[in-house]
Amino acid sequence: MSIRDLLKAHGKPPREVYFDLENSGLVPPEVVDAMLPYFNRIGYGHPSITHKVGWEAYEILYETKELVSKTIGASSPEEIVITHSGTEANNLAIMGFALANRTKKGKIIVSAIEHLSVIFPAETASELFGFEVLRIPVDTEGFIDPEIFQAYIDKDTSLVSIQMVNHEIGTIQNIKELAEIAKDTNPNVIFHTDAADAYGRIKFRVDDLGVDLLTISSHKIHGPRGVGILYVREGVKLSPILRGQLSVEKLWPGVENIPLIAGFKKAVELAFTNFDANVSKMMILRDMLLRGILDNVPDVLVNGPIGEKRAPDNINVSFLYVEGEAITIEFSLRGIYVSSGSACTSRILEPSHVLLAIGRKHEEAHGSILFKVSRYHNREDIAYALSQIPEAIDRLRKISSLKPRKI
């Protein structure tokens, strides 16, 4: 029986709660409404072309750059590069730097828990151009020890890429401190941070952080999939990694997807309206869900930190003695939608590299479940989830071949 047939046979659950916001999520009506005119009424032309509909397209593109620039404290909208995803923005940051500096080479430093769209390009830069790539270890909560970081940085360090918030375990890294350490040792080092899981949940200014490159992803803030941002500080040299006809974005050729950019602009406006209240709500719901799981389900490990050092929307736990894939199916039958392990590896059943890096055993990583709350959730959603999770885990453990070891 296929999963689709299983869901149909099980019947519609009394409530549906979507927590799989790491992979993607709902696009609110306001965002959809903002996109629609750009398909066939205004701005459907190429933004590089000098006619009315081209000007309209360019206007919404530039307004989006202006808005993003203001939210992160960039010096100019010209420092904002629009790509088609956060993955593409990360690739442009790493490979664009490597291409521009391939004759100088040097070291690229990343953490052991970076998104694979940072780790893989760094490895490619090593293979193609001879950069030395070093992965900094993290502690059991995903934090980089500043003293260990200092030991990795030297005059040969060219590029550092460290996430502001880890996409799986929600660790909020002290980017300001790490950037200061790097630049004190080597003022010429370029510092990149993947802020896709921070933007819209944590306030920051690029000058305060001391970063030169910064990544944002539209779908992480309830925007449409298909838009990414790379902040490039003025004076930082990157080379395009795609070649084609020049467009508005000289670092990312191709026709910009204006309807999606218009939707992203609206998503940014919504994310920064009542910002503090929205973040406070997420933290309350996060803690309510986490505490409810820990109080009602035995043998659960929390992956990542607890409290203020954790992203306001992130909960990642390992349910021992049961497989994550079985949990996602069981939860889905009950109308609770989550992801298991890494969003990048869940379909090939490999344990998350992030969880292994913080010291989890393979079987612990395989039982991990990632929940993400948002301003669109409410207490009733959390209460429903908590009414189902203990029963679901208990049922799975009774039929699981994974059992506690006898001592």
Residues 251, 334, single domain; the answer is: no
Distances (CA, A) of 185 to 149, 189, 191, 361, 370: 11, 9, 13, 36, 37
pLDDT of res. 1 = 60
Residues 7, 59, single domain; the answer is: no
Nearest CA to 19 out of 268, 275, 328, 318 is that of 328
Last residue of a domain, one of 271, 299, 329: 271
Domain that holds residue 361: 3-21+275-399
Residues 346, 260, single domain; the answer is: no
Residue 186 lies inside a defined structural domain of this protein: yes
Sorted by sequence, the CB contacts under 8 Å of residue 210 that are 6+ apart come out as 175, 176, 179, 180, 183, 191
CA distance 209 to 220: 21
Residue 407 lies inside a defined structural domain of this protein: no
Residues 143, 53, single domain; the answer is: yes
Residues 14, 70, single domain; the answer is: no
Residues 167, 286, single domain; the answer is: no
Residues 146, 287, single domain; the answer is: no
Residue 342 lies inside a defined structural domain of this protein: yes
Q: How far is CA 324 from the centre of its chain?
A: 20
CA distance 80 to 10: 48
Nearest CA to 173 out of 209, 213, 147 is that of 209
Last residue of a domain, one of 271, 294, 328: 271
What are the residues facing 339 on neighbouring strands?
370
Residues 266, 358, single domain; the answer is: no
CA-CA-CA-CA dihedral for 133, 129, 127, 238, to nearest 10:
70
Residue 405 lies inside a defined structural domain of this protein: no
What Rg value do the Cα atoms of the chain yield, rounded? 22
Token pair in block for residue 343: 């969003």
pLDDT of res. 348 = 57
Residue 406 lies inside a defined structural domain of this protein: no
Give average pLDDT by consecutive 10-residue segment, the chain, 407 residues.
69 93 95 98 93 96 98 98 98 98 94 98 97 98 98 97 98 98 97 98 98 98 98 97 88 94 98 98 98 98 97 98 94 96 55 96 94 98 98 96 65
The predicted model scores a pTM of 0.95
Residues 258, 329, single domain; the answer is: no
Q: What is the domain-level CATH number for residue 127?
A: 3.40.640.10
Residues 318, 245, single domain; the answer is: no
Token pair in block for residue 168: 């799986």
pLDDT of res. 222 = 98
Residues 14, 123, single domain; the answer is: no
What is the length of the chain?
Answer: 407
Q: What is the domain-level CATH number for residue 294?
A: 3.90.1150.10
| Count of structural domains within the chain | 2
Residues 313, 339, single domain; the answer is: yes
Last residue of a domain, one of 250, 271, 292: 271
Active-site residues, by number, are 344
